[in-house]
Amino acid sequence: MTGPAETALPDGFEVQIDRRCVRNGDLRYLVGGSPTRVLKLSDAALGMTSADGRISVHDAATRGLARTLLDSGIGLPRPMNGPNTDAVTVVIPVRDNQSGVDTMLAALGGRRVIVVDDGSAVPLRVPDGVTLIRFDVNRGPAAARNAGLAAAQTEFVAFLDSDTVPTRDWLIILLGHFSDPKVAIVAPRVVGRRLPSGGSVVARYANAHSSLDMGPTEAPVAPGTALAYVPSAAMVVRRSAFLGFDESLRVAEDVDLCWRTHAAGWRVYYDPIAHVRHDHRESLRELLNRRRYYGTGAAQLAGRHGTTAAPVMATAAMALAVVGLMTRTRIGLLLASVVSLYSMYRTRQLLAGIPGRDVIAASATGRGIGWGLLQASQALLRHYWPLTLLAALVMPRFRRVVLQLAVAEGAVWWLRDQVLQSRSPAVGPLGFVLMRRLDDLAYGAGLWQGVLAAASPAALVPVLRL
């Protein structure tokens, strides 16, 4: 299937310039997006923009400006209306979870629903008015979702797993984005259910740090960016843009769909204002086994999408700076300093004519090195941990570095996810660091399991750009 034939935004659609891309209140020069870019608004474009950075579409000029801002990631969609909820069919793929289906149907309140029983040992039951499709043998969630969509008669289909429960107005919030004719998929934030006080560390970690939770920041979804995919546990798709889940995949089928949809020219968007609650696994064994299972999908993604699935992506210069810093030697620090200064100089040249370019260049370089250090730490502790363990056993100096990284990386993510984004952290720092390290070991084990099964190291090969 090709990309959208019609891309014009409708009258009344609004786009808000992301305030994080604005410096000192000056809307003329915008720096942001993923990857980072610089936009300079002309006098005519500024004339179409309100003082708070909002553009309302009403003619060809405002349509073009709004589309440019959306495609750059610097503009955030603010649709004024969208399809009616009657234009949506909810598809629930399920196996052996009658109670989950019952809870879901009660929460959906009589909406048009198709339940796909994917080979349950005891056939599922649904009330009158709900369509039931049953597979005699388990065919996997991709096949179940495809079958549900094929049976639907509406232009939009919402996929919800049976262990999720949508909150109020979730569908209305998401449907607004489809007033942009380029949007093919929109996903809500998947959050944990409310736990009673005193739950175990495992339950609280799984609830607050789920791999299904893409965080509190809205963003376009694209491979190679800060938000590379959204989970199929909860998403709404435009039927005419749906490329189908790959039924040969039992894991990572949602990542594959997002990447193929983006490659076809469609937009995928994540809106965390809409919430869907999810029942997470509360035993350590179940949690780690699920993480391992997710890791096995990396090799299959690498086989289909090549370097897009690489565990590490960085420029060669930034990689040199990060390696230099991690050696903690004088030569390494000198190398990192030289590379950093060169990177600042190159960035400053690209920002010629932009006020405050020295500060912008220094800030961009600092963020790049910080992210590079974090990415390298994650790779050592998650993707490459078998190699890291071997090296640590024979190299005492490296062993100390790894132990320090294991604590520091976990502390950074605890501060980011549990403190800055929450008034009351669900898990303390020690419990969080311990659970994160176990999480990484499980995912990495699955990654290597998938690599060995595929007889290809593609999922382990980093990508360095000049």
Q: For the segment 235-245, what is each residue's pLDDT rounded down to a tens digit?
A: 999 999 999 99
Determine the Cα–Cα distance for residues 93 and 114; give it in Å rounded to an integer. 9
Q: Where in the chain is the domain with CATH 3.90.550.10?
A: 85-282
Interval 145-200: pLDDT, tens:
999 999 999 999 999 999 999 998 999 999 999 999 999 999 999 998 765 556 78
Tell me the CATH number of domain 85-282, given options 3.40.50.720, 3.90.550.10, 3.40.50.300, 3.40.50.1970.
3.90.550.10
Q: Average per-residue pLDDT in the chain?
A: 93
Determine the Cα–Cα distance for residues 397 and 326; give it in Å rounded to an integer. 11
Interval 396-417: pLDDT, tens:
999 999 999 999 999 999 998 7
Residue 198, pLDDT score: 60
Interval 284-311: pLDDT, tens:
999 999 999 999 999 999 999 999 999 9
Indicate the pLDDT class of residue 206, thresholds 50, 70 and 90. Answer: confident
Q: Which CA distances in Å does 170 have to 129, 272, 277, 317, 365? A: 22, 10, 11, 44, 38
Whether the pLDDT of residue 1 is over 60: the answer is no
Interval 415-466: pLDDT, tens:
987 777 765 778 899 999 999 999 999 999 999 999 999 999 999 999 998 7
Determine the Cα–Cα distance for residues 155 and 286; give it in Å rounded to an integer. 37
Interval 104-154: pLDDT, tens:
999 998 899 999 999 999 999 999 999 999 999 999 999 999 999 999 999
Residue 423: CA count within 13 A, CB half-sphere: 0
Q: Which pTM was predicted?
A: 0.94
Q: Which CA distances in Å does 219 have to 81, 216, 337, 406? A: 19, 10, 33, 29
Interval 370-387: pLDDT, tens:
989 999 999 999 999 999
Interval 60-118: pLDDT, tens:
999 999 999 999 999 999 998 899 999 999 999 999 999 999 999 999 988 999 999 99
Q: Where do we find the tokens 């369509």? A: 131
